[in-house]
Amino acid sequence: MADQVDSQGKSKMLNGTQKANASAVTAGGMSTETVAMDRRRFLVAGAAAGGAVMAGTVGGVAHAANPENLPPNVPEWSHVLGAAVDDAPYGLPSPFESHVVRRNVEWLTSTTQASINFTPLANLHGIITPNGLCFCRHHGGAAAVNPEDHRLIIHGLVDRELIFTMEDLLRMPSVSRIHFLECAANGGMEWRGAQMEALQFTHGMINCCEWTGVSLKTVLDQAGLKPKAKWLLAEGADASGMTRSIPLEKALGDCILVYAQNGEMLRPEQGYPLRLLVPGWEGNMSIKWLRRIEVGDQPWHTREESSKYTDLMPSGEARRFTWRQETNSVITSVAPERPLNGKGFYELSGVAWTGSGKIKRVDISTDGGRNWTTAQISGPVLDKSLTRFRMPWRWNGEEVLLQSRAMDETGYVQPTFAQLRSTRGIWSIYHRHAIQTWLVRSSGEVENVQLS
Ligand SMILES: Nc1nc2c(c(=O)[nH]1)N[C@H]1C(S)=C(S)[C@@H](COP(=O)(O)O)O[C@H]1N2
Ligand SMILES: [Mo]
């Protein structure tokens, strides 16, 4: 039996295979009509990515497969010369992959500059997010910064106030590390019930890149910290002038002043030419277009920090300083955007991550959490990184409820929705990391549902 909590906090019993009516849920000023409309649109977008109609759709535009290209014939592209090496000095994905893009949700924010778009997780492989597909969260649009005119200022409780050019930073000893970056609001639309009809929107506020830059400690050591130094304020050069306070212990730990992402310089929307990366912690602390670091003895009380980044508990109290991103996982190879095309063999694959360190184990259930099988962890298992898991599976064509459950190296096990709600209630926006359920219909369609 499934138990769905609607927007009023009341529970409705479902029969386990019945999808809760998304129109019962409202959040962020959205209307019932918008949900229905968006849902159809999401399913269309998803269908382009799904195996069921793969051969017939490119970027949502139907095109006919040409039998002339099939064996025993030699396909048309074998008869003509291909593109020249200087046709695309900066390469782009195949036009047949043009449906794999970031998408935003119109009703979520009132402008597209103070807004967010989402990583298309259902179409990604391994653990690395390509630069052009990393979700973007801006409070004042993506700043267009000329690196020649960009400076990083270090001041406050330091022995030497310093100003760095980009050239200065590029000359310093560097580090490269693979980490996920996740918005604290990832999955935040799902607290009060299953709502978003695509994996892109239930979990897509996350990326995982190889980040290169200068260890923040290197720069702070150069400035010299005064004995009273306990906190940093990081500030961005964008129109929002976003600031966040960061405790010194974390700053001297694994934080990086990042200038490169997956081997090339940062993309403008990821903070070019310089951003802070605070690994494993709320994405909002990883200040983009970083221009200033002030060292102080206490956290700053800015509008962002004192009112926005807190978690409202059932008691009416608000938790704050909940910086660490919690242990989470999701199946990505079967998802609303990746419907099944007939019974038989499939690989269940997905990603798991934790701000607490490394992923230790991931279990998969095909019966809504009654029985669990440990998945194979395949590929690198890195600190505060996406970790890829896989499991061979045979679908008999019946309705099934797919789930993944991650465990981290501290022994923490990803909670069910019921467990999470029993301690955190339903009024938070942030840190929604409960076990995801995909309902696979006998038609092969896949839906987002919540079980108790
Ligand atoms: N200067 C600045 N830094 C910022 C933001 C911003 O709007 N301005 N957004 C923050 C938030 S809320 C998140 S989740 C991450 C998102 O990083 P991304 O856009 O590279 O995915 O950047 C953070 N850093
Ligand atoms: Mo965020």
Can you spell out the DSSP letters for 98-164?
Answer: TT---EE-GGG-SSSSSEEEE--GGG--SSPPPGGGS--EESS------GGG-EEEEEESBSS-EEE
Select from 288, 302, 305 the residue to mutate for testing ligand 1; criterion: most ligand atoms less than 8 Å from CB. 288
Please state the length of the chain.
452
State if residue 261 touches ligand 1 by the CB under 6 angstroms criterion: no
CA angle 287–288–292, rounded 5-degree value: 65
Select from 116, 137, 205, 272 the residue to mutate for testing ligand 1; criterion: most ligand atoms less than 8 Å from CB. 137
Q: What is the structure's pLDDT at 443?
A: 98
Q: Residue 134: is it exposed, middle or buried by C-beta count within 10 angstroms (0-12/13-18/19+)? A: buried
Closest residue to atom 5 of ligand 1, CA basis: 138
pTM value > 0.85: yes
Ligand nearest, relative to CA of residue 429: 2
State if residue 245 touches ligand 1 by the CB under 6 angstroms criterion: no
State if residue 286 touches ligand 1 by the CB under 6 angstroms criterion: yes
Closest residue to atom 10 of ligand 1, CA basis: 284
* Long-range contacts of residues 106-111, Cβ cutoff 8 Å, at least 24 apart: 106/34, 106/38, 107/28, 107/29, 107/30, 107/31, 107/34, 107/38, 108/28, 108/30, 108/189
Count Cβ atoms below 10 Å from residue 408 Cβ, excluding itself. Answer: 22
Select from 245, 278, 284 the residue to mutate for testing ligand 1; criterion: most ligand atoms less than 8 Å from CB. 284
Compute the distance from residue 269 Cα to the ligand 2 centre, in Å. 14
Residues near 236 by beta carbon (within 8 Å), at least 6 away in sequence: 143, 242, 243, 271, 287, 288, 289, 290, 291
Q: What is the structure's pLDDT at 306?
A: 67
Closest residue to atom 21 of ligand 1, CA basis: 136
Ligand 1 atom nearest to CA at 136:
19
Identify the helix (H) or strand (E) that includes residue 345.
Answer: strand 344-353
* Long-range contacts of residues 303-309, Cβ cutoff 8 Å, at least 24 apart: 304/242, 304/243, 304/244, 305/243, 305/244, 305/245, 309/184, 309/282, 309/284, 309/430
Compute the distance from residue 55 Cα to the ligand 1 centre, in Å. 37
Compute the distance from residue 352 Cα to the ligand 2 centre, in Å. 19
In this structure, are residues 336 and 448 in contact, taking their beta carbons and an 8 Å threshold?
yes
Q: What is the chain's alpha carbon radius of gyration, rounded to the nearest angstrom? A: 23
* Long-range contacts of residues 116-120, Cβ cutoff 8 Å, at least 24 apart: 116/183, 116/185, 116/205, 118/200, 118/201, 118/204, 118/205, 119/200, 119/204, 119/205, 119/206, 119/207, 120/49, 120/200, 120/204, 120/337
Ligand 1 atom nearest to CA at 271:
20
Task: Decide the pairing of beta strands 400-408 and 387-395.
Answer: unpaired
In this structure, are residues 162 and 257 in contact, taking their beta carbons and an 8 Å threshold?
no
Compute the distance from residue 276 Cα to the ligand 1 centre, in Å. 10
In this structure, are residues 285 and 240 in contact, taking their beta carbons and an 8 Å threshold?
no
Compute the distance from residue 137 Cα to the ligand 2 centre, in Å. 6
Residue with tokens 């909590």: 5
In this structure, are residues 174 and 239 in contact, taking their beta carbons and an 8 Å threshold?
no
**pLDDT tens digits in sequence order for the chain, 452 residues long:** 333 333 333 333 233 333 333 322 223 333 222 333 334 334 334 333 333 333 334 344 456 789 999 999 999 999 999 999 999 999 999 999 999 999 999 999 999 999 999 999 999 999 999 999 999 999 999 999 999 999 999 999 999 999 999 999 999 999 999 999 999 999 999 999 999 999 999 999 999 999 999 999 999 999 999 999 999 999 999 999 999 999 999 999 999 999 999 999 999 999 999 999 999 999 999 999 999 999 999 999 877 776 678 889 998 888 888 899 999 999 999 999 999 999 999 999 999 999 999 999 999 999 999 999 999 998 999 999 999 999 999 999 999 999 999 999 999 999 999 999 999 989 888 999 999 999 999 999 999 999 87
Calculate the alpha carbon distances from 94 to 59, 62, 83, 447 in Å: 11, 16, 12, 28
Identify the helix (H) or strand (E) that includes residue 199.
Answer: helix 199-203
Q: What is the structure's pLDDT at 352?
A: 98
E strand map for 190-255:
206-215, 231-236, 243-247
Closest residue to atom 2 of ligand 1, CA basis: 288
Identify the helix (H) or strand (E) that includes residue 264.
Answer: strand 264-265
Pair of tokens at residue 181: 């970056």
Pair of tokens at residue 396: 């008999």
Ligand nearest, relative to CA of residue 102: 1
Q: Residue 421: is it exposed, middle or buried by C-beta count within 10 angstroms (0-12/13-18/19+)? A: buried
CA angle 238–244–247, rounded 5-degree value: 145
Closest residue to atom 24 of ligand 1, CA basis: 287
Compute the distance from residue 262 Cα to the ligand 1 centre, in Å. 18
Q: Calculate the CA 260 to chain-centre distance.
A: 19
Q: What is the structure's pLDDT at 209?
A: 99
Cα distance from N-terminal residue to C-terminal residue, the chain: 8
Residue with tokens 């669990």: 372
State if residue 178 touches ligand 1 by the CB under 6 angstroms criterion: no
Name residue 286's amino acid.
Answer: S
State if residue 275 touches ligand 1 by the CB under 6 angstroms criterion: no
Q: What is the structure's pLDDT at 252?
A: 98
Q: Is the dihedral of CA 106, 108, 111, 115 positive or negative?
A: negative
- Cα(438)–Cα(419) distance, integer angstroms: 18
Q: Which residues pair with 158 in a beta bridge?
A: 225
Compute the distance from residue 139 Cα to the ligand 2 centre, in Å. 9
